[in-house]
């Protein structure tokens, strides 16, 4: 790569000035790390990053993830030079309704490929993007999908274990088009990194099977050569460890960890600008020559995009499958019209089993589902799916089953990356109790409105012998508290298959599904599949008249509610199945009042989990659940011990109803 020493130096100085000016004007933000990363990010953006200057969403663009999300002013300065962000937005850094929030937000700012800020997760999302790139190239052709995924990480990112877990996956899968820049400036919030960490990242990444390149992160020639080397290596991801200096270029505070999170003083900023040959008194200053220099590659970029569009059109004209696939990706409509499985009423089946069967059936209908289990394949019942889909391996990217090993959090970040990339509907599986391990990434799924499907089996104390460590209590309540996440807990095979179909239809939200380990009967209810999609519906009624009592339940406790109602034959009892609170809450008031009439005040919720969150449905009734940990014993014994029997609950209903 031929560099242009003088204009490069000037452009880097301008980027650093924008970082200093933006954080100063906001009186908040993180200049130090952004300035130490500037040289590597600049060389990447100016000389390597393949983009469409006219369309930040171009499918075959190189992806860039700023895992060190606090360095957002660096990204905003680069996006400004790319033409995606007006200078006025840089002046409104961190202000209400600006396009330059404190940390980069995908979906808000053109050119931001991922929402970052929670350290480490950006690395995982980049791994997911690289997986999606490889898988999509296998389906659409390497002439259509052929891009790199770059990620910029700081010390904090690599101190967070999630990045290491995801990096282990990336090394195992040999993701050769993934390049990680490590801005090793040895400074973090509380001091120098040596206070807290002495990890040899070179050895760690070598151990993961990565190509390790160590350079002076301010030397443009070394940076460029390292990127060339990273690109030459086809079968291993690369980490470019750039030894850098905190607040590089600053007049007097270079190397000072305090610059991590405090804007530089006006005097320091002016002196720094003068030191680098810029006018000290001009803020947000970008001379025309810098734009021209930065954008000198745009002509080539546009030519490449035009050639790519022509190729896509040619392929689409020749092949309708290709044309449909391409359109589906652009429309984010990847799993339409999935047929549900047909389950026979009466048949007893764990919902994890109906989940597994449905997933495999869906995988026969579409090649857009991509995911797998965190080493619980036999328990999560994803084996049938894997058999249909084939394994995604370092040598075969056409398979669609991903084996994540025991890495729930990395798995979830990778799923986010797959969804961000486009082309696939990702899913991941583990036990419900371990959803906690994936939770921070689920939060980023919700924040980014990503259609990721989280599937959690072993959803209650009915797990039995594995004991309290494996018996979820508070997990459903915690997931329901996450804004923008839908939580489905189907009662039987028919609700399972219908709600899975719905989960794949929804393309702007993550969904978490909870499935039983134990068998439950398949119910014989008219039009159950459609009713379940309203979130809650009337399952049974003692008679046509208005009920005295409503039992509301989810999942396996729907059957317990039905059995309880049978013991309350002297009362008018309605049983409501509520597989999803959030969907029910969205229904028109009229529908909600039909299911839970406002004047029926005695309502009882039944769920084998924390009662937290059920209060809003039970009016003057109460909630039956598990507000304590379980125990290690056969499920049948636990059921009695914890009172999950029709006899116990009907007794309580009667006792309390008469009070």
Ligand X SMILES: Cc1ncc(C[n+]2csc(CCOP(=O)(O)OP(=O)(O)O)c2C)c(N)n1
Provide, rounded to whole angstroms, the least separation between the CB of residue 76 and ligand X. Answer: 15
Nearest to ligand X of 70, 352 (CB atom) = 70
**What's the Cα-to-Cα distance from 235 to each of 86, 175, 178, 182, 211, rounded to whole Å?**
39, 6, 10, 20, 9
Three-state DSSP class for residue 604: strand
Task: Copy the structure tokens of residue 554.
Answer: 């989810």
DSSP-assigned letter for residue 374: S
- The answer to whether 181 touches 163, Cβ cutoff 8 Å, is no
Nearest to ligand X of 189, 330 (CB atom) = 189
3-state secondary structure 252-310: CCCCCHHHHCCCCCHHHHHHHHHHCCCCCCCCCCCCHHHHHHHHHHHHHHHHHHHHHHH
Among 16, 24, 30, 61, binds ligand X (CB under 6 A): 30
Contact pattern for ligand X over residues 51 through 70, marking x by CB under 6 A? -----------------x-x
Going by C-alpha positions, the residue among 193, 192, 205, 188 that lies closest to residue 241 is 205
Contact pattern for ligand X over residues 247 through 276, marking x by CB under 6 A? -------------x----------------
Nearest to ligand X of 32, 217 (CB atom) = 32
Nearest to ligand X of 161, 390 (CB atom) = 161
Provide, rounded to whole angstroms, the least separation between the CB of residue 205 and ligand X. Answer: 16
Terminal CA-to-CA distance of the chain, rounded, Å? 83
Provide, rounded to whole angstroms, the least separation between the CB of residue 187 and ligand X. Answer: 5
At 315, phi and psi to the nearest 5? -65, -40
**Where would I find the beta strands (DSSP E) of 450-524?**
453-457, 486-488, 511-514, 519-521
Among 29, 32, 237, 242, binds ligand X (CB under 6 A): 32
Provide, rounded to whole angstroms, the least separation between the CB of residue 75 and ligand X. Answer: 13
How many angstroms separate the CA atoms of 178 and 414, rounded? 13
The whole-angstrom distance between residue 482's C-alpha and the CA centroid of its chain comes to: 13
Spot the catalytic one: 89, 408, 607, 639.
Answer: 408
The whole-angstrom distance between residue 164's C-alpha and the CA centroid of its chain comes to: 17
Residues contacting ligand X: total by CB under 6 A: 20
Residues numbered 441 to 500 that lie near ligand X (CB under 6 A) are none
**What's the Cα-to-Cα distance from 55 to each of 50, 59, 84, 367, 564, rounded to whole Å?**
12, 9, 9, 27, 59
Q: Which stretches of 3-43 are DSSP H helices? A: 5-26, 31-43
Provide, rounded to whole angstroms, the least separation between the CB of residue 18 and ligand X. Answer: 16
Residues numbered 92 to 151 that lie near ligand X (CB under 6 A) are 117-119
Q: Which residues pair with 573 in a beta bridge?
A: 549
Provide, rounded to whole angstroms, the least separation between the CB of residue 439 and ligand X. Answer: 12
Nearest to ligand X of 240, 608 (CB atom) = 240
- The answer to whether 14 touches 286, Cβ cutoff 8 Å, is yes
Nearest to ligand X of 186, 457 (CB atom) = 186
Nearest to ligand X of 158, 297 (CB atom) = 158
Task: Copy the structure tokens of residue 445.
Answer: 């799924």
Nearest to ligand X of 85, 187 (CB atom) = 187
CA angle 21, 27, 28 (to 5 degrees): 100
Nearest to ligand X of 30, 273 (CB atom) = 30
Residues numbered 146 to 205 that lie near ligand X (CB under 6 A) are 154-157, 160, 183, 185, 187-189
At 196, phi and psi to the nearest 5? -120, -15
428 counts as binding ligand X under rule CB under 6 A: no
How many angstroms separate the CA atoms of 646 and 225, rounded? 71
How many angstroms separate the CA atoms of 326 and 307, rounded? 16
Whose structure tokens read 């060389």? 43
Nearest to ligand X of 118, 209 (CB atom) = 118
Three-state DSSP class for residue 405: coil
Provide, rounded to whole angstroms, the least separation between the CB of residue 215 and ligand X. Answer: 17
Provide, rounded to whole angstroms, the least separation between the CB of residue 202 and ligand X. Answer: 17
465 is catalytic: no
Burial 233-249 (b: 16+ CB within 10 A, else e): beebbbbbbbbbbbbbb
- The answer to whether 582 touches 617, Cβ cutoff 8 Å, is no
3-state secondary structure 134-148: HHHHHHHCCCCCCCC
Nearest to ligand X of 269, 453 (CB atom) = 269
Provide, rounded to whole angstroms, the least separation between the CB of residue 260 and ligand X. Answer: 4
Ranked by CB distance to ligand X, the top (closest) residue is 33
Which residues would be at the binding site for ligand X (CB under 6 A)?
A: 30, 32-33, 68, 70-71, 117-119, 154-157, 160, 183, 185, 187-189, 260
Return the active site residues: 408
């Amino acid at each position: 790569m031929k560099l242009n020493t003088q204009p490069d130096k000037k452009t880097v100085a301008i980027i650093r000035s924008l970082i200093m000016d933006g954080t100063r004007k906001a009186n908040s933000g993180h200049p130090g790390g952004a300035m130490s990363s500037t040289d590597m990010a600049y060389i990447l953006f100016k000389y390597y990053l393949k983009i469409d200057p006219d369309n930040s969403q171009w499918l075959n663009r190189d992806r860039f993830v700023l895992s060190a999300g606090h360095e957002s002013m660096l990204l905003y300065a680069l996006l400004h030079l790319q033409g995606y962000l007006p200078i006025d937005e840089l002046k409104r850094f961190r202000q209400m309704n600006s396009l330059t929030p404190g940390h980069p937000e995908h979906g808000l700012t053109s050119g931001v490929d991922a929402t970052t800020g929670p350290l480490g997760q950006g690395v995982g999302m980049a791994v997911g993007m690289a997986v999606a790139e490889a898988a999509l190239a296998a389906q659409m052709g390497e002439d259509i999908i052929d891009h790199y995924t770059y990620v910029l990480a700081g010390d904090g990112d690599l101190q967070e274990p999630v990045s290491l877990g995801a990096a282990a996956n990336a090394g195992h899968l040999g993701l050769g088009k993934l390049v990680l820049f490590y801005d090793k400036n040895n400074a973090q919030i509380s001091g120098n990194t040596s206070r807290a960490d002495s990890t040899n990242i070179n050895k760690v990444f070598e151990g993961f099977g990565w190509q390790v390149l160590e350079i002076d992160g301010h030397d443009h020639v070394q940076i460029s050569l390292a990127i060339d080397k990273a690109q030459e290596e086809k079968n291993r991801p690369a980490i470019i460890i750039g030894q850098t200096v905190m607040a590089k270029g600053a007049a007097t505070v270079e190397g000072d960890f305090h610059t991590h999170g405090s804007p530089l003083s006006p005097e320091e900023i002016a002196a720094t600008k003068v030191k680098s040959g810029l006018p000290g008194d001009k803020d947000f200053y970008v001379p025309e020559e810098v734009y021209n220099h930065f954008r000198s590659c745009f002509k080539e970029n546009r030519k490449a995009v035009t050639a790519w569009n022509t190729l896509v059109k040619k392929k689409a004209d020749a092949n309708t499958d290709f044309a449909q696939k391409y359109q589906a990706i652009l429309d984010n409509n990847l799993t339409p019209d999935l047929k549900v499985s047909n389950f026979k009423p009466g048949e007893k089946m764990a919902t994890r089993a109906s989940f597994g069967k449905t997933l495999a059936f869906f995988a026969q209908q579409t090649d857009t589902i991509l995911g797998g289990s965190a080493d619980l394949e036999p328990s999560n019942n994803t084996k049938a799916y894997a058999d249909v889909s084939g394994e995604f391996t370092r040598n075969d990217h056409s398979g669609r089953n991903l084996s994540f090993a025991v890495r729930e959090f990395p798995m979830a970040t990778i799923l986010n990356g797959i969804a961000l990339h486009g082309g696939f509907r990702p899913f991941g599986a583990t036990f419900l109790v371990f959803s906690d391990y994936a939770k921070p990434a689920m939060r980023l799924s919700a924040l980014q409105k990503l259609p990721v499907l989280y599937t959690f089996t072993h959803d209650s104390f009915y797990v039995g012998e594995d004991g309290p460590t494996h018996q979820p209590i508070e997990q459903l309540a915690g997931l329901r508290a996450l804004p923008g996440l839908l939580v489905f807990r189907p009662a039987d095979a028919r609700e399972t298959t219908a709600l899975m179909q719905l989960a794949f239809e929804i393309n702007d939200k993550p969904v978490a599904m909870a499935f039983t380990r134990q068998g439950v009967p398949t119910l014989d209810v008219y039009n159950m599949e459609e009713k379940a999609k309203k979130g809650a519906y009337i399952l049974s009624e003692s008679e046509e008249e208005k009920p005295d009592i409503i039992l509301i339940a989810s999942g396996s406790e729907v059957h317990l509610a039905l059995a309880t109602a049978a013991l309350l034959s002297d009362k008018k009892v309605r049983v409501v199945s509520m597989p999803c609170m959030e969907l029910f809450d969205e229904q028109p008031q009229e529908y909600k009042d039909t299911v839970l009439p406002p004047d029926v005040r005695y309502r009882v919720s039944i769920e084998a989990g924390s009662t937290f969150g059920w209060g809003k449905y039970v009016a003057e009734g109460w909630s039956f659940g598990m507000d304590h940990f379980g125990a290690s014993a056969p499920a049948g014994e636990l059921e009695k011990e914890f009172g999950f029997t029709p006899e116990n609950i009907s007794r309580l209903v009667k006792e309390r109803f008469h009070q």
